[in-house]
Amino acid sequence: MTVNASISLEPVAVSSHSVWRKLAQRKLAVIGLVIMLICVLGATLAPWITPFDPNEQHFDGLTIEGAPLPPGAVYWLGTDLLGRDLFSRLLFGAQTSLVIGVVANGVALLIGTLVGVTAGYFRGVVGAVLMRFTDLMMAFPALLLAICLAAIFSPSLWIVAMVIAFVNWVQTARVIFTQTSSLVERDYIAAVKTLGAGHGRILFRHILPHLVPTLIVWGTLGISTTVLLEATLSFLGVGVQPPTPSWGNIIFENQTYFQSAPWLVFIPGAAILALALGFNLVGDALRDILDPTQQGRD
Amino acid sequence: MPAYILRRLIQSALILLGVSFITFVLLYILPADPVRQIAGRSATAETVASIRSQLGLDKPFIVQYGTYLWNLLGGDLGRSYLQKTEVGALLVSRLPATLLLMVAAIFCELAIGLTLGMIAALYRGRPLDNVLMLGSFVSVSAPQFVVALLLLYVFAVKLGWFPIGGYGTFAHLVLPALTLGILGSGWYSRIMRSSMLDVLRADFIRTARAKGLNRTRVILAHVLPNAILPVIAMVGIDIGMFMSGIVVVESVFGWPGIGQLAWQAIQRVDIPIIMGVTLVSAFAIVLGNLLADLIAPLIDPRIRLR
């Protein structure tokens, strides 16, 4: 009986079925889901659906004067300054963006959750130190820090991912800290403590499951931030290094041609915007659906 | 209140101290060697060693940091490794351009964001509202450099209305300010929309309507002033976002502010300048947050300072 009592006191979880149904009712969220799906499919199927090798410099890929080709029948989206097929580079670039998005954001979520849960659950000196450190990181100009780190460590895909994670975990830590410290105060936690549950059991069975909705929301919104940051670093030349295609470095490489061959800048630019927009739209809808305090507002 | 302000000031000072420490550590452990940058590739080991000792870079970390802090207390940010000028003087010469851009950008953000947010709230749930909200998502999802290049392409290259880049006249200011304005407006329009909706639901609005005021009058005299104030309090927080954005925008438009200074310094591993810009940016962020927290209760007495 006591066990039943402790369960009934817990906040109600949201079933994934009803989340999908609610997402499908929102126009903006559906637009976002479609964009996400196209990007993920494009990236995963890239080796099979790209007409050319993304790094092959085609003999007929440049005009006689040596300028890139505009979009056409052979090279659908045109060629870049080295005569490589832009469409193929774009699809492989989607892989780079998504890999960095998932890895960097995953690491940021992990750090944020660890810091937030530790500070919120154990509190005391450790909690205070962790949260003051978080405040401190909030005062850093994030992009400046990222550019600085990426420029100074000779950049590679993984370094870029880690730099982004290092500047992006802060918001997650704050949100998770607030949630954990309010969960700890709840009666059901006192109840399971009385029943003799240890820290591990309380954390993994009674606290973490309730943080999952928040993590899903921040996981989705964070991918958008991460994709934008990667693109910015690559555009400045301190992100993912050519010849590995990334949407940011395609623009970086071709920006000298931006007046005569604007598609080389604006097609990858539109791709970055679309991907970030997709994750933002879905993340925002998920926040409305999963966060009870947001319900009834719009 | 005075006790609260004092506590916040001390906190802010500690945060800045922390920022200086972390930046110093990061720049100390970095693999790139500033001395090699200064000495050049063909320098002998002796030249390298003498430059290193001249700059005090052969001393232990704690001595280097201590010296830096001590000088900082006296207002001395050190000398640029490569330009040989005082970092403080460099920052002072670059700050007016950045501040001008900041004021213009925040003006654009507010002008676009508040107007669109207000319209969205008044047309809540209708197609126009949906379009405006989609627009606000597009603006927060757009990469800065793409918007900057797009505005350059359309208004400078194709139409020739504005110069391609540079500094000096009002025409030079328009495109960089508009870039930042468009990007920031999405954030403001969403806050403005929800603030308007909150006010529209309030009892005093129902009273105003009940006593027979017409809709336009209610909106102009009662809704707008109450809805705008909380949004204005957000400008302080916005300064932080602004400081993060200037590196890219100033580089693309060749705007001679501290963002461009930072980007040049990063490429040349000019550590004193990187330290200086980071500290100035962090100072602006901390100050902005402090102002936002102090202004909020003045605007809305329901918010109490803790």
pLDDT band at A5 (very low <50, low <70, confident <90, very high): very low
Q: Give me the mean pLDDT over the A1-25 stretch.
A: 63
Residue A45, both tokens = 């199927």
Q: What's the pLDDT at B303?
A: 66
Q: How many Å lie between the alpha carbon of A279 and the closest alpha carbon of chain B?
A: 9
Please state, as a whole number, how many other Cβ atoms lie within 10 Å of the Cβ of residue B206. 12
Q: What's the pLDDT at A6?
A: 41
Q: How many Å lie between the alpha carbon of B158 and the closest alpha carbon of chain A?
A: 9
Per this entry, what is the length of chain B?
Answer: 306
Q: Do B157 and A259 touch (CB under 8 A)?
A: yes
Half-sphere exposure of A163 (CA within 13 A, CB side): 29
Phi, psi (rounded to 5 degrees) for A82: -100, 10
Q: Is the pLDDT of residue A4 over 50?
A: no
Q: How many Å lie between the alpha carbon of A284 and the closest alpha carbon of chain B?
A: 9
Q: Is the pLDDT of residue A193 over 90?
A: no
Q: What's the pLDDT at A30?
A: 92
Distances (CA, A) of A120 to A128, A185, B116: 9, 10, 39
Sites in chain B below the pLDDT cut of 50: none
Residue with tokens 């040989």: B84
Q: What's the pLDDT at A223?
A: 92
Element (H or E) spanning B243, and its range? helix B235-253
Q: Taking the mean position of all CA atoms in its chain, how far away is CA B91?
A: 16
Residue with tokens 């090699």: B36
Contact between A188 and A206 (Cβ < 8 Å): yes
Q: What's the pLDDT at A294?
A: 54
Predicted complex ipTM exceeds 0.95: no
Residue A117, both tokens = 């849960």
B130 inside 8 A of chain A by CB: yes
Contact between A106 and A164 (Cβ < 8 Å): no
B26 inside 8 A of chain A by CB: yes
- Give helix A157-168 / helix A170-184 axis angle, nearest 10°: 40
In degrees, to the nearest 5, what angle opens at C-alpha B253 toward C-alphas B248 and B257? Answer: 70
Q: Is the pLDDT of residue A35 over 80?
A: yes
B164 inside 8 A of chain A by CB: no
Q: What is the pLDDT of residues A126-171, one digit of tens each?
A: 888 898 889 888 888 888 888 888 877 777 888 889 889 988 899 8
Q: Taking the mean position of all CA atoms in its chain, how far away is CA A239?
A: 16
- Pick the closest to residue B19 from B288, B292, B274 (CA basis): B274
Q: What is the pLDDT of residues A55-113, one digit of tens each?
A: 888 878 788 777 788 887 777 788 887 888 888 899 998 999 899 999 999 999 999 99
